[in-house]
Structure 1
Amino acid sequence: MAGMGPPPKPAGQRRRRNATVATTRLPAEGRGGRRAPNWPLVPDVVMAARRDLLAAAVADLEEDLAELEGTRKEASVRRRLETTQEKLAIIKAQMKAQRALEADLWRDLWRLPQAVAWERLRWTRDVAQYVRHKVLAELGDLAAAKEARQWSDRLGLSPMAMLRLRWEVTVDETAAKRAERDRDRSEAETPPATAQPAADPLAALRAV
């Protein structure tokens, strides 16, 4: 009939003007104790390059020192060598600490409730990027600290970031109550410690 529009769409196909994004519920126990994924990133190439350059500089200065032994330039070259050796030792220590801290933080993060969402979204490399910047920040890199804060927001590692991502941590109340009952039962079945009779301080005197 003229003047009539198309028939209305079924309710399931209508666009809701005030539709909201559903909240993602994350279990408080996280991934259930499963191991963290394999570390996906290569070693820190910047730190490795600095180490290699310093090692080459040390080798060159050692050669120069051997050639200049007994000359007036010997003291100057020796000071430069000692300074470069110190820098090399520092960066080697930083790289060792970096590897250990990255491994620890990587393992700890995948125990969080947020790890359930990361796994679903395949954000393994994103989490690794956060770990790298966070560890470098802890080692004193201010630029890495800024990057770590940004990655933290993206990964939902703060209450505000979780709210923005619409993530919510939920507790399995049934499992929690069961664990509480088991704990109470275990405490009830544990026999109380038998009190030992107090020693008589006059017994030794009476025996004399």
Structure 2
Amino acid sequence: MAGIGPAPKPDDQRRRRNATVAMTTLPAAGRTGPAPTWPLLDDVVLMTRAEAARRASDDLELLLLEPDLTSRKRAALEKRLETARIAATVLERQVASVREAEHTLWAELWATPQAVEWERLGWVREVAQYVRWKARAEAGDLDASKEARQLADRLGLNPLAMLRLRWKVASADEAEGSRAVTRPASGAVRAQRRLKVVDSDEAV
């Protein structure tokens, strides 16, 4: 008939224009178990810089051993040597501190609630790259701090990033409810035992 349109679709077939993606609830207690094996090689760039700085310092020391140096040249070399020694020492300590920070950060991050999703998604190397940049940032590398911030956003390591990923940490009530479902309270267990005793008596 004219003027009559198609029949409306059932409710379950209608397109929801304002549909939202469900939030993924992460356990408040975090991920359990050991961290994955560290997947990256040593920080070759930082180690190479430290080795080059130490070689430069050693070369200056050899130059100072030349017997025909004038006092003016010797003073200039000693000044350069002092600067080179400081640079080499700073880089060597940075290598050591970064290695220690990587080890600590790696263990800490894989115990967080977000680590549950990282493991499910297979983001092991991505987390390792964040750890590398973050460790270098904490050692004073400003460029590394920029890279670390970008990776932190991708991994959900701040509230806004978690919201974008549709992640949330379980509240205390949700965590308590989960424990109550998986492990009955002691009073409930005693009540069940009493019921079993009554049932057995009635059967007799």
TM-score (structure 2 length as normaliser): 0.74
What SS does the aligned partner of 2:157 have? coil
If each structure's helix is expressed as a fraction of its own residues, which one has the higher value?
A: 2
Residue 172 of structure 1: which of 157, 171, 175 is its match? 175
Give the drift of 1:9: 8.8
Q: Which residue of 2 aligns with 1:51?
A: 50
Q: Please, what is the CA RMSD of the aligned residues?
A: 2.9
| Equivalent runs, 1:66-85 vs 2, <5 Å | 66-68=65-67, 71-72=70-71, 73-85=73-85
Q: Give the Cα–Cα distance (whole angstroms) in 2 for the partners of residues 39 and 55 of structure 1.
A: 28
Q: Deviations over 1:142-200 (max 9, x none)?
A: 22112211111111111111111110112431466699x89xxxxxxxxxxxxxxxxxx
Q: Which residue of 1 aligns with 2:34?
A: 35
Q: Give the Cα–Cα distance (whole angstroms) in 1 for the partners of residues 11 and 93 of structure 2.
A: 65
Q: Give the Cα–Cα distance (whole angstroms) in 2 for the partners of residues 105 and 86 of structure 1.
A: 28
| Equivalent runs, 1:150-165 vs 2, <5 Å | 150-165=150-165
Q: Which residue of 2 aligns with 1:118?
A: 118
1:19 maps to a residue whose letter is: A
What SS does the aligned partner of 2:25 have? strand
Q: Give the Cα–Cα distance (whole angstroms) in 2 for the partners of residues 78 and 68 of structure 1.
A: 14
For residues 38 and 74 of structure 1, do their structure 2 counterparts lie closer, same or farther at Cα, with a shift above 3 Å needed? same
Runs of 4+ off more than 2 Å: 6-20, 68-72, 174-179
Is the 1:68–1:74 Cα contact (8 Å) retained in structure 2?
Answer: no
Alignment length, in residue pairs? 180
What SS does the aligned partner of 1:66 have? coil
Asked if residue 133 in structure 1 is aligned to residue 138 in structure 2, the reply is no
Q: Deviations over 1:43-70 (max 9, x none)?
A: 2222112112112212221221112465
1:156 maps to a residue whose letter is: G
Unaligned runs of 5+ in 1: 1-5, 183-208
Q: Which residue of 2 aligns with 1:203?
A: none
Q: Which residue of 2 aligns with 1:190?
A: none
Q: Give the Cα–Cα distance (whole angstroms) in 2 for the partners of residues 157 and 68 of structure 1.
A: 60
Q: Give the Cα–Cα distance (whole angstroms) in 1 for the partners of residues 125 and 140 of structure 2.
A: 23
Q: Which residue of 1 aligns with 2:61?
A: 62
Q: Give the Cα–Cα distance (whole angstroms) in 2 for the partners of residues 8 and 68 of structure 1.
A: 101
Q: Which residue of 1 aligns with 2:95?
A: 95
Unaligned runs of 5+ in 2: 1-5, 187-204
Percent identity for Structure 1 against Structure 2: 53
Give the drift of 1:94: 0.9
Q: Give the Cα–Cα distance (whole angstroms) in 1 for the partners of residues 129 and 63 of structure 2.
A: 41
Is the 1:106–1:131 Cα contact (8 Å) retained in structure 2?
Answer: yes
1:23 maps to a residue whose letter is: M
For residues 122 and 8 of structure 1, do their structure 2 counterparts lie closer, same or farther at Cα, with a shift above 3 Å needed? farther
Give the drift of 1:84: 0.7
Q: Deviations over 1:119-144 (max 9, x none)?
A: 11111111111112222222222221
Q: Give the Cα–Cα distance (whole angstroms) in 1 for the partners of residues 114 and 69 of structure 2.
A: 64
